[in-house]
Amino acid sequence: MSEQTEQLSYKKGLRDGLPIALGYLSVSFTFGITAVGMGIPPLAAILISMTNLTSAGQVQGINIIAAGGGYIEMALAQLVINMRYALMGISLSQKLDNKYNLIHRIISSFGITDEIFAVASGQKADIPPRYMYGLITLPYIFWATGTAAGALLGAILPESIQAALGIAIYGMFIAIVIPPAKKSRGILWVALFSALLSSVIAFISQYITITSGISVIICAVIAAAFGAAFFPQKTGEVTADE
């Protein structure tokens, strides 16, 4: 085991992180454009990416800021949207090697994302801190750089290209949901039910004020509870991988 762990070097982490980083570059670029388009200053958009490192939460976050939503709404929305990271953290904590002390856990947990978690938990050996830091490095740099490029340079792109790029992040969400939904009826029904709820709420919100942050919280809690009640997975199948 120790020999296998030896191979999980910082450099291997960097290599494994490169494909993730390239994907993040395009998505964060459109995040930068979208944020500035909503009236968020470029510096704030970059700060959001550097302190959050998460796609869905950030998109919801700028929606809430643009709508002037409250701090509690913001906190609840981030809690629900990013709750999956807690599950990933619990899962990952079973796979860390003995060099992983409290300080390393406190620092490296900042870098848990869907993709980084997926690559880390796919390793056969237990994970040393240096591999985790290597894995996080490039995605973090590219996420911040892409946001800066989109926020500062996005405006020079023709309007039609800016508009078309607005769909990139949703394309990524769709690509995360559909492959597992093909294999799991539970995921399929949860996704469809949540989409239906969200559409109904969007319709109702023409008449009474329901902000998008509140809407996502309502949909996620109801649809996930619906899934847990009607499509329970067996213990072994409940994992956080995507």
Partner 1 sequence: MNDSTFYLIMSILVMALVTYLIRMLPLAVFRKKIRSQFALNFLYYVPYAVLSAMTIPAVFTSCGDSTAAIISSAAGFLTAIILSFAEKGLLTVALSACGAAFAADLITGWMNIV
Helix (H, G, I), strand (E, B) or coil at 239: coil
Query: Rule CB under 8 A: is residue 33 a binding residue for partner 1?
Result: no
Interface residue with partner 1, options 57, 97, 119, 157 (CB under 8 A): 57
Query: Rule CB under 8 A: is residue 71 a binding residue for partner 1?
Result: yes
Tokens of 227: 């899934």
| Nearest CB to partner 1, comparing residues 11 and 164 | 164
| Nearest CB to partner 1, comparing residues 3 and 156 | 156
Residues 123-182 that bind partner 1 (CB under 8 A): 160-161, 163-182
Count, residues near partner 1 per rule CB under 8 A: 100
A 10 A CB-CB count for 39 gives 10
Interface residue with partner 1, options 38, 155, 195, 204 (CB under 8 A): 195
Query: Rule CB under 8 A: is residue 192 a binding residue for partner 1?
Result: yes
- What residues form DSSP beta bridges with 96? 127
- Report how far residue 91's alpha carbon sits from residue 172's, in angstroms, rounded to the nearest whole number: 23
Residues 75-114 that bind partner 1 (CB under 8 A): 75, 78-87, 89-90, 92-93, 102, 105-106, 108-110, 112, 114
- Report how far residue 8's alpha carbon sits from residue 12's, in angstroms, rounded to the nearest whole number: 6
Interface residue with partner 1, options 2, 38, 51, 204 (CB under 8 A): 51
Interface residue with partner 1, options 13, 31, 33, 54 (CB under 8 A): 54
| Nearest CB to partner 1, comparing residues 8 and 27 | 27
Interface residue with partner 1, options 123, 145, 147, 194 (CB under 8 A): 194
Query: Rule CB under 8 A: is residue 208 a binding residue for partner 1?
Result: no
Tokens of 175: 């690509």
Show the 3-state SS of 108-170.
Answer: HHHHCCHHHHHHHHCCCCCECHHHHHHHHHHHHHHHHHHHHHHHHHHHHCCHHHHHHHCCHHH
> Is 109 buried (19+), middle (13-18) or exposed (0-12) by CB count in 10 A?
middle
